[in-house]
């Protein structure tokens, strides 16, 4: 079941402090309406008791859709806190596995660092797209357009709504402001070609070497490569 807990929150506008109920986890199998609330940016949105200002509280969140065999852990943090995110992710997964009956197979749990990435992963899963191949495509797009889509300041997100049978769509987002700045298309036949290529026995390990997980991100890979180059 979905879980809530009380948290002390300070209003970003008037600095009034109050106790509020916030979601720690969403179980879509039991409360499907929570999925639509997430997509509408209505989860963990509160109103200040003092000034009536409404704002979203970004916090860690476990998303579980048992009917579609999808579990995603959102560790709300910037990329430079990835190590801490992965440590907490491992602790969370171990706790989940311990709580399972012995005859139940442990689910695969995805790790994301933002609400946008959470929504993206849900759409990706529903479209039956391979998240590593999608990130490989992003890797290629960033690498070929470093001046206009610099991974230091720009983020690419899969856009399910505008994707078609012929093209996959991606949104360009500014990392700091979270403003959506544009959209680009990528031929679906190229995605299919990558799937075919990486399914070969001599290639399958390469995609896992690039994106070993648990956090699968082209942007993280590119920034790590840049850091290693000095």
- Tell whether the model's pLDDT for residue 115 goes beyond 70: yes
Q: What is the pTM of this model?
A: 0.92
Q: What is the DSSP letter of 53?
A: -
pLDDT digits (tens, 9 = 90+) for 130-144: 999 999 999 999 999
Do the Cβ atoms of 101 and 65 come closer than 8 Å? no
Question: Rounded to a whole number, what is the distance in angstroms from the first to the last CA of the chain?
Answer: 47
CB atoms within 10 A of CB 222: 18
- Is the torsion defined by CA of 195, 200, 201, 206 positive or negative? negative
Report the alpha-carbon distance of residue 168 to residue 150 in Å, rounded: 20
Paired residues of 159 in beta bridges = 169
pLDDT digits (tens, 9 = 90+) for 8-31: 999 999 999 999 999 999 999 999
């Amino acid at each position: 079941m979905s879980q809530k807990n009380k948290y002390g929150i300070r209003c970003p506008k008037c600095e009034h402090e109050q106790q509020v109920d916030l979601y720690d986890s969403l179980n879509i199998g039991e409360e499907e309406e929570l999925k639509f609330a997430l997509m509408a940016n209505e989860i963990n949105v509160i109103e200040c008791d003092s000034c009536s200002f409404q704002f979203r509280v970004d916090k860690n969140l476990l998303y579980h859709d048992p009917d579609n065999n999808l579990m995603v852990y959102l560790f709300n943090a910037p990329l430079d806190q990835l190590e801490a995110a992965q440590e907490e992710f491992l602790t969370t997964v171990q706790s989940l596995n311990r709580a399972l009956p012995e005859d139940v197979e442990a689910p695969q749990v995805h790790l994301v660092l933002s609400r946008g990435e959470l929504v993206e992963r849900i759409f990706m899963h529903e479209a039956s797209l391979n998240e590593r191949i999608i990130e490989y495509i992003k890797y290629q797009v960033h690498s070929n357009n470093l001046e206009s889509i610099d991974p230091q300041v720009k983020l690419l997100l899969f856009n399910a709504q505008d994707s078609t049978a012929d093209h996959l769509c991606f949104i360009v987002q500014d990392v700091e402001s979270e403003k959506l700045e544009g959209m680009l298309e990528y031929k679906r036949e190229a995605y299919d070609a990558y799937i075919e290529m990486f399914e070969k026995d001599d290639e399958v390990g390469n995609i896992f070497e690039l994106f070993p997980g648990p956090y699968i991100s082209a942007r993280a890979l590119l920034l790590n490569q840049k850091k290693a180059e000095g």
